[in-house]
Amino acid sequence: MDMLTIQGGTPLRGTVRVEGAKNAALPIMAACLVVRGQVQLAQVPDLVDVATMTQLLQSLGCVINRTKTQTATIDADSANRSFADYELVRRMRASICVLGPLLARFGKAQVSLPGGCNIGHRPIDLHLKGLAALGADLRIENGYVVATATRLRGADVELGGPSGSTVTGTCNVMVAAALAKGRTTIRSAACEPEVVDLGNFLNAAGAQISGLGTSVVEISGVESLQGVTHTILPDRIEAATFAIAAAATRGNILIPNARTEDLTSVIDALRVMGVRIVSSSAGLEVSCHSELQPVDIVAMPYPGIPTDTQAQFMACLCTVQGVSKVRDAVFPDRFMHAAELLRMGANLQRHGDLTVVHGGQRLTGASVMASDLRASAALVIAGLAATDQTTVRRIYHLDRGYARLEEKLTALGAPVSRVPDSSNTADVQPPHFKLQKRSERTIL
């Protein structure tokens, strides 16, 4: 297992490109199960989660070739299994994205339930509700979702839950409905750009989907989908992570391929903090010219501030004089990073789904442990802003969603290196990983 060592205190400067979006690549790869002929995907990020999805699809009989140029060809004509094994699904929750495609392709699917997660309660009831509305018969047996359907039929599907819509649930229902008989209306559909990218991919393959990017998506089922070439959209979460890292180090960076339109709420929050953001044909330029101000952050479904940037914002706000509040309305328990930030000298108080940041004191380098993907990114940002050296352990979480992060940060002038972690803490789950209940009022 590797760890990252970060020598903090250097403002990030330079140009950095982001990869294709992980959260678009994964459901699109899964959707290839329902396409006849070869699919060619460009800008497929080189990530552990993509490797896991590749293995999962191969285990179902798909033929996949990846090149070094971030292209993948996926041929699902030979797919002959509808069983997604726990051993693969437990590594990555996004494996649930094969449920809708398998059901549409084979009329049956057996997919392991993804199990526990470090960012909080993550049920799949809305996925099941949506597929049941299309006529699937679903039951849970021995830790697996067992689904069957003689022929999926279009229906009116409501996907709103207590925390809004569901991103991968919308993906599952959209793929299944694309091949169902008749017309489907998904209400309270997720509007995230990654869902839109999946819809664009399906439409290019012959599907008839409209309303993408709105909360009402209409789908007219078609008989079949054909092979197509598609480029995965740039990763808005990676772009936001670099923008926030630039703010935390008071740096100046350019992200040439960031899609400004996908980042409006993140850009707004950074501007309120006093960060200068210029969007032009050259890309997104992020720079700091004055003292930064505190800001209140509420993570919400798109177009709100993404929950996948909440941890990074918190790390950055620790460096800003004054009181900021960070709330996560999507995953109210997603605050594992806070306990590690405290070890770096942050002053944080947690009250249920709200963490109050008393920022301004200089963070100090420490040995910290990553608990999930975005928490890892937050610890890296804190390390970049801190004095002395920070060591981020358990970076396999980071490798799930950020490709060559240490190389990119080094190119931006930050001394970051990946080194083997020989300590026996690498595999041990620390006691503070215990989730706190939403209602619990806890001072960290």
Q: Does 266 bind ligand EPU (CB under 6 A)?
A: no
Which of these ranges, 72-80, 160-168, 212-220, 408-416, lies near ligand EPU under the rule CB under 6 A? 160-168
Q: Strand 63-66 to strand 72-75: parallel, antiparallel, or no bridges (unpaired)?
A: antiparallel
Question: Cis ω on the peptide bond leading into residue 303 (within 30° of 0)?
Answer: yes
Q: Smaller CB distance to ligand EPU: residue 243 or 366?
A: 243
Residue 308 binds to ligand EPU (criterion: CB under 6 A) = yes
45 counts as binding ligand EPU under rule CB under 6 A? no
To ligand EPU, the closest distance from the beta carbon of 394 in angstroms equals: 15
Residue 167 Cβ vs ligand EPU, minimum distance, rounded to whole Å: 4
Closer of 308 and 421 to ligand EPU (Cβ)? 308
Give the per-residue contact string, 5-34, with ligand EPU (x = CB under 6 A; - = no). Answer: ------------------x--x--------
Nearer to ligand EPU, 52 or 166 (CB): 166
Asked if residues 257 and 18 have their Cβ atoms less than 8 Å apart, the reply is yes
Residue of 32, 62, 117, 171 with catalytic role:
117
Q: Specify the stretch interacting with ligand EPU by CB under 6 A; choose among 224-232, 301-309, 343-351, 357-365.
A: 301-309
One of 36, 122, 358, 404 touching ligand EPU (CB under 6 A) = 122
Contact (CB, 8 A) for 192 and 308: no
- Minimum Å gap between C-beta 361 and ligand EPU is 28
Rounded distance between C-alpha atoms, residue 105 and residue 380, angstroms: 42
What single-letter amino acid sits at 407? Answer: E
Pick the stretch among 306-314, 348-356, 386-394, 428-436 that binds ligand EPU (CB under 6 A).
Answer: 306-314
Active site includes 117?
Answer: yes
Sketch the per residue contact string, 394 through 423, with ligand EPU: x for CB under 6 A, - otherwise.
-------x----------------------
Q: Which residues contact residue 357 at a Cβ distance below 8 angstroms, ignoring those fewer than 6 apart?
A: 294, 314, 317, 318, 323, 324, 325, 326, 346, 347, 348
| x-marked contacts with ligand EPU along 342-381 as a string, rule CB under 6 A | -------------------------------xx-------
Contacts with ligand EPU: how many residues (CB under 6 A)?
27
**Least distance (Å) from ligand EPU to the CB of residue 244?**
15
Residue from 44, 330, 346, 363 touching ligand EPU (CB under 6 A): that is 330
- Angstrom distance (rounded) from CA 335 to CA 327: 10
By beta-carbon proximity to ligand EPU, the closer residue of 39 and 300 is 300
167 belongs to the binding site for ligand EPU (CB under 6 A):
yes
| Count of C-beta atoms within a 10 Å radius of residue 420 | 9
The token pair at 27 is 């459901």
Binding positions for ligand EPU, rule: CB under 6 A: 23, 26, 93-94, 121-127, 161-163, 166-169, 194, 306-308, 330-331, 373-374, 401
Catalytic positions, please? 117
